[in-house]
Amino acid sequence: MGYGESQYNTANYRAASIAAKEEHQRKNFTQEQVVALEIVYENSRYPDRSDKEKLSMDLNLSDSQVQTWFSNRRAKSRR
């Protein structure tokens, strides 16, 4: 593998990375979703899997969005 070939692969990687970032949309939670998440957070800073699954279904969010929200909320409370 020569220098030019390596540089070509790096250029493709950068282009793909930029394209992926442009496609990613940040999720803005609705007020109703935030209120529901905050209520659960008041009861437990670390809800179990079943609670998070129920929340995600009730609020029409993915499991990872709920998990990330709780992680970010705990970080916010430490500040």
At the top level of CATH, the class of 36-78 is: mainly alpha
Instruction: Give per-residue pLDDT as tens, 17-70.
Output: 666 666 767 879 999 999 999 999 999 999 999 999 999 999 999 999 999 999
Whole-number Å distance between alpha carbons of 46 and 58: 18
CA distances in angstroms from 18 to 22, 26, 41, listed in the order given = 6, 15, 35
Identify which of 30, 36, 32, 21 has the alpha carbon closest to the alpha carbon of residue 70.
Answer: 36
Domain ranges of the chain: 36-78
pLDDT at 74 over 90: yes
pLDDT at 3: 55
Whole-number Å distance between alpha carbons of 6 and 30: 45
pLDDT at 4 over 80: no
Residue with the larger pLDDT of the pair 61 and 10:
61
Residues 44 and 51 sit within 8 Å (Cβ to Cβ) = yes
pLDDT at 64: 94
